[in-house]
Amino acid sequence: MPTAENTRARVSELHGIREQAEAGPSAGATEAQHAKGKLTARERIALLLDEGSFHEVEPLRRHRATGFGLENKKPYTDGVITGWGTVFGRPVFVYAHDFRIFGGALGEAHAQKIHKIMDMALAAGAPLVSLNDGAGARIQEGVTALAGYGGIFVRNTRASGVIPQISVMLGPCAGGAAYSPALTDFVFMVRDTAQMFITGPDVVQAVTGEKVSQNGLGGADVHAEVSGVAHFAYDDEETCLEEVRYLLSLLPANNREMPPKAVADDPADRRCEALLDLVPSDGSRAYDMREVLAEVVDDGEYMEVHERWAPNVIVALARMDGQCVGIVANQPQASAGVLDIHASEKAARFVQMCDAFNIPLLTFLDVPGFLPGVDQEHGGIIRHGAKLLYAYCNATVPRVQLILRKAYGGAYIVMDSRSVGTDLSYAWPTNEIAVMGAEGAANVIFRRQIAEADDPEVMRQRMVKEYKAELMHPYYAAERGLVDDVIDPAATREVLIRSLRMLRTKHAELPQRKHGNQPQ
């Protein structure tokens, strides 16, 4: 039997091994990480999770690979730290690449640790956050490392729509490694230190002759503005991780729960008198829809997603009466708020995310239509616009539509109209719901009368006025039951909150099927 002295010696040995695992490879490696403006994996986890809540899984794991000198270098953790903790007291699972060990590259043991924590997150029904800072597959381990990525992708897909998955890009992410973040619900990036690309600058130059830097090819600003891969971009890791915490506070733990409710100090019946002046009645004048949203939501606070990509549509998470809501809104300040390829994709994926996680949807309309043009048609605006249509038609969460001004043509239908299933539709007295604007409609309908008139311009203006009076007055849609009510803009917050309260127990089921075949 072991003696007490032997047990104490073993415990002392254990503590020494743990200290070695927690310290990492060397002080020099830590200094090198900090010199790049990056935190270590453990420092990042400490910022993400509540203080003292982290419980590590497999800290003593080491690889078993041989060859190329690997048998002589077997650090604890194998370059990834995995475990769980809490964010605002709620369980969250996390894995973080440790760039100090093999450059954070993924090998067999490394991958198995990630697989395990992903399985645990799915089984526990809790969000998963990945802190990415790795150099891709571990070349020395060959195809075994590549197979590890396959296991991650399968688990990302199985967890999709079941638990929130958030990818935080804090360093390089190249090749196949970039696909795991693309499969998750949200991607955060830090400027200058984080990059994502399938093929690096050297390969691009060798194949195409184009010379580009890492940030120019796949930096945070590129993915936040051009590609749409990144939902959020920040200047430093501290701010980035604090925003991840805030996002988690808005989301449910899984698809079987409702989003957490917060204490609402903002009165539900607060009148929004500023809305009477914020939105010009002249449909051709621009305004900032963000100011409208700030007036309506609790305390004027909302978290805009994909803020810099496809800015002609706004998607955001906010609270109304303390409850989380998803907002989709046209932005008249950008391209008059038209729907185009990117805006349709952006809104469609957001609608799907909200529906997956039981987040009610509010849609604010001021849309002149879909963007016309050869580039849009050849780029597939039909199938991309259909993505948004499909997302709304497929959504079973509470849905409320508000029409502020213009709502023309197919864009009106696609933006959660009554005909595609919104639960309630409201309009301001400034609304104009029609197939197209009065000018274009008059030119089509009264083409002959205008052409034959002694003064075509006078006739055209007369016909425009007639068309507006007959088909575009504010109560036309309400008289036909296509709008549930025309409301005082100042009462918007109260009306929306009352509607959401009523819809909170909504239950809707889709036909039994394996899955739909949504437009691609």
Positions marked active-site: 175-176, 410-411
Residue 465 Cα distances to 285, 411, 417, 461, 473, angstroms? 19, 23, 26, 6, 11
CA–CA separation, 410 and 483 (whole Å): 16
Q: Facing residues of 169 across strands? A: 132, 189
CA–CA separation, 111 and 124 (whole Å): 20
Write a three-state SS string for 189-245: EECCCCEEECCCHHHHHHHHCCCCCHHHHHEHHHHHHHHCCCCEEECCHHHHHHHHH
CA–CA separation, 138 and 152 (whole Å): 15
DSSP per position, 99-145: TTTGGG-B-HHHHHHHHHHHHHHHHHT--EEEEE---SB-GGGTHHH
Residue 504 per-residue DSSP state: T
Query: Coil, strand, or helix at residue 437?
Result: coil
Residue 379 Cα distances to 192, 230, 383, 385, angstroms? 31, 22, 9, 11
- Residue tagged 């090998």 (tokens): 107
Mark out the alpha helices in 446-491 (DSSP H runs). 447-452, 456-471, 476-479
Q: What share of the chain is helix, strand, coil (3-state, %, to 5)?
A: 45, 20, 35
Residue 268 per-residue DSSP state: T
Work out the widest C-alpha separation in the chain, in whole angstroms. 114
How distant is the alpha carbon of residue 349 from its chain centre? 8
Residue 410 Cα distances to 122, 195, 382, 389, angstroms? 39, 38, 11, 10
